[in-house]
Amino acid sequence: MDRRAFVASSVGLAAAGAAFAAEQPSLRSRLLGVWSLTDAVTITENVIAPWSGRQTPISGILIYLDSGWMSVQIAGAKPGTISRVDFGKLSTTDRFVWLKEYYAYYGMFEIDELASVVTHRLTDSLFPYEKDAILKRRFELQE
C-alpha cells in the first residue's frame, strides 16, 4: 500500500537551549489541534511524487483531538465553480471529475514519540477499501 506523507505548517514558539529541549511538551501534545495542509506527497518504494499524481495545488486540514480522534480532509484543484442545482444535473462521469479532487478519512490516532510516527486507525474513509485500515506516517514538527 502507498504511504502518504503529509507536511503541515504551524505557528509556534521558538526557543533555544538544552533546558528547553528537556522540558519540551510531548509530540502528541504538540500535534493536537487543527493543521493547514501545505503539501502532500505519495511515497512508493522510496520514490516521492506529487500526492496521487496531482500536478495542481492542494489544500486541506488535519485535525487531532485530545480524545484521540483525528480527521484528514484534502481538496485538489476544482475544474471551476458550479451551483448545487447544476451539479445535480451532471452525469455520473461529469460528477466524478469534481469528486475525484477530494479525499477524506477519520478515526483514532496514536503517537510513537521515539520514532516520530503517527498511526491513523481509520474508522472510515472516502475509499471503502480503507475502512478499518491502519496507516503509519512519519512526521516532523518545525516550530
pTM for the whole structure: 0.72
Per-residue model confidence as pLDDT tens digits over 64-118: 999 999 999 998 766 678 888 988 898 988 888 777 788 899 999 999 999 999 9
Report phi then psi at 81, rounded to 5.
-115, 155
pLDDT at 1 over 60: no
Q: Under a CB-based contact definition with an 8 Å cutoff, are residues 1 and 134 in contact?
A: no
Give residue limits of the domains in the chain. 3-138
Q: Under a CB-based contact definition with an 8 Å cutoff, are residues 64 and 31 in contact?
A: yes
What average pLDDT score do residues 31-56 get?
78
- Name the average pLDDT for the chain: 80
Distance (Å, rounded) from C-alpha 3 to C-alpha 41?
Answer: 9
pLDDT at 14 over 90: no
Q: How far apart are the first and last CA of the chain?
A: 31
